[in-house]
Structure formats: structure tokens, C-alpha cells
Chain A
């Protein structure tokens, strides 16, 4: 698929969701479908799908270590062992996992290859690491902030996070820093795929779709907060109804809210079937979560078929006379 098709399909899908929600959310008899049924269904698909994928991975045997080392393996005492990049113990693996999960260490190692006066040159390139880190942490803060709509009373920490995120007190309601950071980072990740020829070549519809979907979620959220405002008290009445399992559909919530919810529900439902499962997958990556003990310990394949072996000693015993007759040297006479 060329970039026009993959980008077109992804953009078309996102716009179709927006259009359906915009029309459906404006019809009061359809509002319970978009406000209650779709979010519940998406959430169940997310939980069940996520568990299914992880259990499925868990059932795949990984008998041997796949160390994908980027550092010196533990060896002779006078050769310096890289304990984090090539751990030999569980503690080292925990260190590597923490750095991977919280600081995206493998992205930090990203390099860029360029031709410079006939030679290929590798240089550090931290932009993708920075973009990914800003994107993920902004998304986390935004998700946690949304708990103010799902908890009553609103916990002190959630209120505190809200205050810190809006600390510049720009306008009312206050501008959140993470809103800007998220939109900026997602745009960067999308533009990067589109303008770097190598990235465009390897990008597919399933790369563009999540980015456009999250961009849509961000834009609809910002629109709802600052421009096409909805009554937040009615919104919380709805969300509290959802989490107390007594769903209610308050009247008079604007269609923009249903657009936002439809896009978020799509993200939830799409999650288990997509590359977004790297969230669970990072914990089950053999290349990250296994210590490199390939040489230090004996690893036995648990389902190895018991092969009948035929060592040379037995071979020679069997064929000694024939070998002697043919003039082939033997070890024992």
C-alpha cells in the first residue's frame, strides 16, 4: 500500500467515526447507545482482548534465552560486564525492564545512518525518544486527570495533578500543559512518518490509524474544553452512572462529547488487536525480560524429542572389522 492509500484509509476511518458520533450524538434517542452501550462494549473488549493476548503470549514457550545484547556479557573477571544491557541476574533484568518501561531505553539507543562524503556515518538521534516519552507521559497524566469524572469525591491527588497541569492559569478553564504536549508529540510522530522517506516506506494503515485516532481524541477533547463547551456536571452524572453500574443518560450533553467518547471507545476496542498491545508486550519480550545466561547455565528444551544418539565409540565397535579391512585407522584395536 502506498502512503496515499494507507493514510487515506486511516483518515477516512477516523472521520467516519466522527461523523457517525456527530449525527448519532445529536439524536436524543440514540444518545444512550453512544454514551452507555458503546463505552461499556469497548471497555469489555479491551479487558478481555488484552488478557487473551497476554495469555496467548504466555502459552508460547521460550526455552532459550534471546538476549539481544547491546553490552558485554558476563565472562572473565577482567572483562567489564555490562550489568544492565546484558544482565546475568534477575536484579539486572529488573533494572533493564524498569529503564525500558519507564524511560524507553531502547528508543534512547536509536541512531541515524547518513551518507557523508561517500561514507556511511552513524549519529545519535534522540528526537524519536523524546517524542515518544512526551507523548506517553502526557497521555498518562491526561488519563489520570480524567479520574475526576469517575471518582466521587475527587481524591486530593487528582485535584493536585489538575492544578499542577494547569499551573500557568492561562484562561478559564485553565489550559493544561499536557494537552499541548500531547498534541505536539502526536503531530510530531505523525509528521515524522510522512516526511522521512524511510519512515513513509515502512508505514502502514495500522501505523497511521492509531496516531490519527489519538490526534482526534486530543482535538475533540480540547474543542470540548475550550470552544464547543458542554455541561461538565451532566457529563460527570453520565460517567458516574457508568462506573457505579447504574447508567443514566442526562439530557442536553452536546454532540462533541459523543464524538470524544466514540473515538476513545474505538481506541479501547481497537487496542487488543493492534500494535498498541506493545503496552502488554513489552513485559513479555524475551529479548528484554530474560537474563543472558546462555553460557552460564544449561538450558534444556522442555519438549525436546529424546533423540537416539550413536556416539563414535559405539560406531567404531560396530564397524571395527570392516574399517580395518578397508584400511581406515581405528582408535582401539
Chain B
């Protein structure tokens, strides 16, 4: 090969860049985040009534669009009533509806947001709930 060392250095950089994620994760396990849905408010409800605004799959994939729509409904249109797919009415409010049950931001919201590198700007306007680092459930 001509200019072998230059080409080999170039190829080493190429392979290094493209396999970067493999080296960074070598020997590490990547645990899937656990979200806690055992807040006092949820525990108070009897088992069959423990339902979110919409079904679980919808909430897992599309909650951010729902919350964004809620913001527009409440703040821009002044509409504070949301009717879900089951025909139930909910008050459009992050702090009084969503966070009434999901009061554990650190163990709920942040778990998946940190895992997937998402930085939602909810807390630019809303006040973050005051939480002790652990065991604030009482």
C-alpha cells in the first residue's frame, strides 16, 4: 500500500468514530428506567380506578403532544375542559390534574426524560414540585 501509515491512521479514526458507542458502553449494562406510580394519591384510589387521562400506550408515546395541546387549550383558548376517548371529563391543568397523581417528578418524569435525553421545557413556567431526594411519599 502506498502512504500506508497515513491511510491506516485515517481508517483507524474512521472505525473509532463509527464504533464509538460500542467502546463507550463496553462492559456496561444499560438498565431500563423504572417509573414509580406508587404516590400516595394513586395508592388512595382503588385498583380498578387507577387510570390515567388516556390509555397507557397513548400516554407512553404521545403524552407530550397531549400536554402541549392542553397548554394551548388552557392558556390560549381559555378552555379548561378535556374529554378523553372514554368520554370522561378532566380539568386541563398540569399541576392540578397530571401532578395530583404523579407528584413524584424525580421518580416519574425525569426517569425516562433523562434516559432518552429529552429536556422538556415544562419547568420554564411551572414550578417544580418540592421533593426530598428519597422517600417523600408520606
Question: Chain A contacts of B1 at CB under 8 A?
Answer: 55, 58-59
Residue of A nearest to B68 (CB): A172
A149 part of interface (Cβ distance < 8 Å): yes
B64 part of interface (Cβ distance < 8 Å): yes
Check A163–B114 contact: CB distance below 8 A: no
- Alpha-carbon separation in the docked complex, A158 to B20 (Å): 14
B96 part of interface (Cβ distance < 8 Å): no
Which label, helix, strand, loop or mixed, suits the secondary structure of the A interface?
helix
Check B22–A245 contact: CB distance below 8 A: yes
Check A172–B67 contact: CB distance below 8 A: yes
Instruction: Count contacts on A: residues with CB < 8 A to the other chain.
Output: 44
Which label, helix, strand, loop or mixed, suits the secondary structure of the B interface?
helix
Residue of A nearest to B7 (CB): A58
Question: Chain A contacts of B115 at CB under 8 A?
Answer: 152, 154, 233, 236
- Alpha-carbon separation in the docked complex, A81 to B132 (Å): 69
Question: Chain A contacts of B119 at CB under 8 A?
Answer: 159, 162-163
Check B117–A229 contact: CB distance below 8 A: no
CB distance from B82 to the nearest CB of A (A): 16
Say which one of B29-37, B73-81, B100-108 lies at the interface with A. Answer: B29-37
Query: Pick the contact of A243 from B4, B21, B114 — CB < 8 Å?
Result: B21
Instruction: Count contacts on B: residues with CB < 8 A to the other chain.
Output: 39
Check B7–A54 contact: CB distance below 8 A: yes
CB distance from B63 to the nearest CB of A (A): 9
Residue of A nearest to B67 (CB): A172
Check A158–B117 contact: CB distance below 8 A: yes
Check A244–B118 contact: CB distance below 8 A: no
Check A58–B3 contact: CB distance below 8 A: yes
Residue of B nearest to A252 (CB): B57
B51 part of interface (Cβ distance < 8 Å): no
Check A151–B15 contact: CB distance below 8 A: no
A: residues with CB less than 8 A from B are: 46-47, 50-51, 54-55, 58-62, 147-154, 158-159, 162-163, 169, 171-173, 229-233, 236-237, 240-241, 243-246, 252, 280, 283-284
B: residues with CB less than 8 A from A are: 1-4, 7, 10-11, 14-15, 18-22, 24-26, 28-30, 32-33, 57, 60-62, 64-65, 67-68, 112, 114-121
